[in-house]
Amino acid sequence: MGEPRVPAGLLDAVERDLTPVRPLAAPSRRALLLLPLGLALLVGLPAFWGWRNNLAALGPAAAWGLSAVQALAGLWIAGAALREAVPGRELSATAVAGAVGAALALFVGLTLATELLVPTPVPPGAWLRYAWECFGMATVWSVPALVVVAWLASRALPTRPAVAGALYGLGTGLMADAGVRLFCRVSSPAHVLVAHGGAILFLVVAGACAATAVERRKARAASKGAS
Amino acid sequence: MRDERQDEDDELVRYMIAYQAGELAAFERLYAALAAELERYFSAAAPTGSVGSAAQDLVQDTFLAIHRSRRTYLPPLPVRPWIFGIARNVLGRHRRTAWRRGRHEERTIEPNEEGRERVEPGAAVEPRDVAEALRLLPAGRRQVWVLHHVHGWSFQQIAARFQIGVGAAKLRSSRAMKALRASLGIERGARDG
Overall pTM > 0.95: no
CA distances from B174 to B122, B131, B169, B179, B187 (A): 20, 17, 9, 9, 15
Choose the final residue of a domain: B84, B104, B124. B104
B-chain residues near A7 (CB < 8 A): 60
Helix axis angle, B52-68 to B79-101, nearest 10°: 120
CB-based contact B24 A87, cutoff 8 Å: no
Respond yes or no on whether the N-terminal peptide bond of residue B81 is cis (omega within 30° of 0). no
CB A54 within 8 A of CB A185: yes
Instruction: Please name the amino acid found at residue A210.
Output: A
- Judgement on whether residues B94 and B120 belong to the same structural domain of the protein: no
What is the DSSP track for B140-171?
HHHHHHIIIIIS---HHHHHHHHT--HHHHHH
B8 is a domain residue: yes
CB B83 within 8 A of CB B66: yes
Chain A contacts to B (CB-CB under 8 A): 3-7, 9-11, 13-15, 17-24, 26, 86-92, 94-95, 155-157, 159, 219, 222-223, 226
Q: What is the mean pLDDT of residues B117-145?
A: 72
Q: ipTM of the assembly?
A: 0.75
Q: What is the pLDDT of residues B74-111, one digit of tens each?
A: 988 999 999 998 998 888 888 877 777 664 444 444 44
User: Which of B74, B83, B84 is opposite residue A86, by nearest beta carbon?
Assistant: B74
Q: How many domains does one find in chain B? A: 2
Taking alpha carbons only, the member of A104, A102, A80 closest to residue A163 is: A80
B-chain residues near A14 (CB < 8 A): 24, 27, 63-64, 67
Which residues neighbour A188 within 8 Å (Cβ) at sequence distance 6 or greater? A115, A119, A120, A121, A122
B170: domain CATH number is 1.10.10.10
Choose the final residue of a domain: B83, B104, B125. B104
- Judgement on whether residues B176 and B99 belong to the same structural domain of the protein: no
* CA-CA-CA-CA torsion sign (B176, B182, B185, B191): positive
d(CA B160, CA B42): 21
CB A173 within 8 A of CB A138: yes
Please give, rounded to a whole number of angstroms, the shortest distance from the CA of B131 to a CA of chain A. 23
Q: What is the pLDDT of residues B143-154, one digit of tens each?
A: 888 888 887 788
- Judgement on whether residues B145 and B125 belong to the same structural domain of the protein: yes
Closest chain A CA to residue B80: A88
Q: What is the pLDDT of residues A150-208, one digit of tens each?
A: 999 999 889 899 999 999 999 999 999 999 999 999 999 999 999 999 999 999 999 99
Choose the final residue of a domain: B50, B76, B104. B104
- Judgement on whether residues B10 and B89 belong to the same structural domain of the protein: yes
Instruction: Please name the amino acid found at residue B131.
Output: A
- Judgement on whether residues B68 and B19 belong to the same structural domain of the protein: yes
B42: domain CATH number is 1.10.1740.10
- Judgement on whether residues B178 and B87 belong to the same structural domain of the protein: no
Task: Look up the domain containing B79 and give its range.
Answer: 1-104
